[in-house]
Amino acid sequence: MSFWEKGYLATGLAVLVAGSGYFAIVWKQSLALGSLAPPNWILFSAYLVVLMALSGVSFLLLGRAEARSDDGPEVGDFDERDRLIRMKSLSATSHVLSLGVYVPLVWFLFHQSGDLLFHSLIGGLVLAEATMCFLHVFNYNRAY
Amino acid sequence: MSFREQSAWAMMAILTVGGLWYFNKVRAASVALGETAPPIMPFVIAYIVLIVIASIVAMSVLGMASPEAANAPADERERQADSRAGDLSGYVLGAGVIIGLLHYPLHMDGNMLYHIGFASLMLSQIAEYGLRIWYYRTGS
Amino acid sequence: MAKRPPITNRVRELREAHDQMSQSALAKAIGVTRQTVIAIERGKYSPSLESAFRIARVFGVGLEDVFGWEGD
């Protein structure tokens, strides 16, 4: 498994952990309120910070681990195959992201709740980002 | 100009005209209301129908002009250009959605969030076709 | 699983014939990562024309001595 493959796997898991944490808090707040909790800056910012911290730490730890292995000199290198995989994964992710935006927008036409639209768009982003990471891992293991 | 580039030009023009028409209607409705207008179903449906019909007409006309090219699958260079364009257009959509998400908690305006999301989708599609044209011309 | 590219190669064979050259050394010589060399040797990745020429030059052979076509 290459440095990037491990990094994307770790980041994909981090995205799912941070996303689950975010929605668990929204769920709890909504139960306490008796209706859907409105978004707040603190929770949204905390989600972004936790997400960036988890993915940053995973790449940092992997970089350190790799530096001690035989693959040391290759850590962080990005060659033609990495670029091809990145391009293919991001291109497919853009379709998932489009779907993750279309569905909440169409749904909004029926419920007209800005809060629900906000949370469902975050859901779409989480889904797209996790898909992007796991598509990288998948593409690293398939043939071209 | 290749068939795929002609198609990309046609789609970019259709999406741009359709998007301008739609947001002009939204702006007029918002001015009349004195606040952000909610999504207006007839305009949303009219926009989608307009885009679909215009795309079918444009593709049919282009296809009739060069039927062989229209039926040929994309070659490796075109596939690469399409992938790169799709990759970058995803960033346009992502950035637009994040702007909308950052805007919402400050103003609590769900209609604005909807319009920002819709505009991001339109812009990312326009950007995708524009980038395809760019990569077809410059080589990818 | 995606269809493998219809291109065969003798990279592993040539590498071993060159004083058991390591995958890392070959990767460094052609400017790619070791994982890419592994993918090429397993037939899971067709390198770019530039990398293909670089591989051939490292071994001092022609392009067709390294790569072959197995499709129709």
- pLDDT, tens only, C38-57: 989 998 888 989 999 999 99
Q: What pLDDT, in 10s, does the model give residues A27-83? A: 999 999 998 998 877 888 888 888 778 767 766 766 666 555 554 445 556 788 888
Q: How many domains does chain B have?
A: 1
The predicted pLDDT at position B80 comes to 84
Q: How many domains does chain A have?
A: 1
Give the number of C-alpha atoms closer than 13 A to the C-alpha of residue A3, restricted to the C-beta side.
24
Q: From the CB of residue B105, how many other CB atoms can be counted at a distance below 10 Å? A: 18
The predicted pLDDT at position B71 comes to 80
Gap between the Cα atoms of B89 and B96, Å rounded:
11
**pLDDT class of C4 with cuts at 50, 70, 90:** confident
Which DSSP helix (H) or strand (E) runs through C68?
strand C67-69
The predicted pLDDT at position A73 comes to 45
Q: What is the least distance, in Å, from the CA of A15 to any CA of chain C?
A: 25
Domain contains C65: no
ipTM of the complex: 0.85
Q: Which of C53, C35, C55 lies closest to C45 in space, CA to CA?
A: C35
Q: How many domains does chain C have?
A: 1
Q: Give the CATH number of the domain where residue C27 resides.
A: 1.10.260.40
Q: A125–B94: do the CB atoms touch at under 8 Å?
A: yes
CB A80 within 8 A of CB C51: yes
Is the pLDDT reported for residue A124 higher than 80?
yes
Q: From the CB of residue B10, how many other CB atoms can be counted at a distance below 10 Å? A: 18
Domain contains C48: yes
Instruction: Using an 8 Å CB-CB cutoff, list chain A residues near C39.
Output: 81
Q: A121–B117: do the CB atoms touch at under 8 Å?
A: yes
Instruction: Using an 8 Å CB-CB cutoff, list chain B residues near A46.
Output: none
The residue range of the domain holding C44 is: 7-59
Domain contains C64: no
Q: Which of A1, A39, A20 lies closest to A130 in space, CA to CA?
A: A20
Q: C33–A144: do the CB atoms touch at under 8 Å?
A: no
The predicted pLDDT at position A63 comes to 66
CA B117 to chain centroid, in Å, comes to 12
The residue range of the domain holding B50 is: 3-138
Query: Is the CB of A138 inside 8 Å of chain C's CB atoms?
Result: no
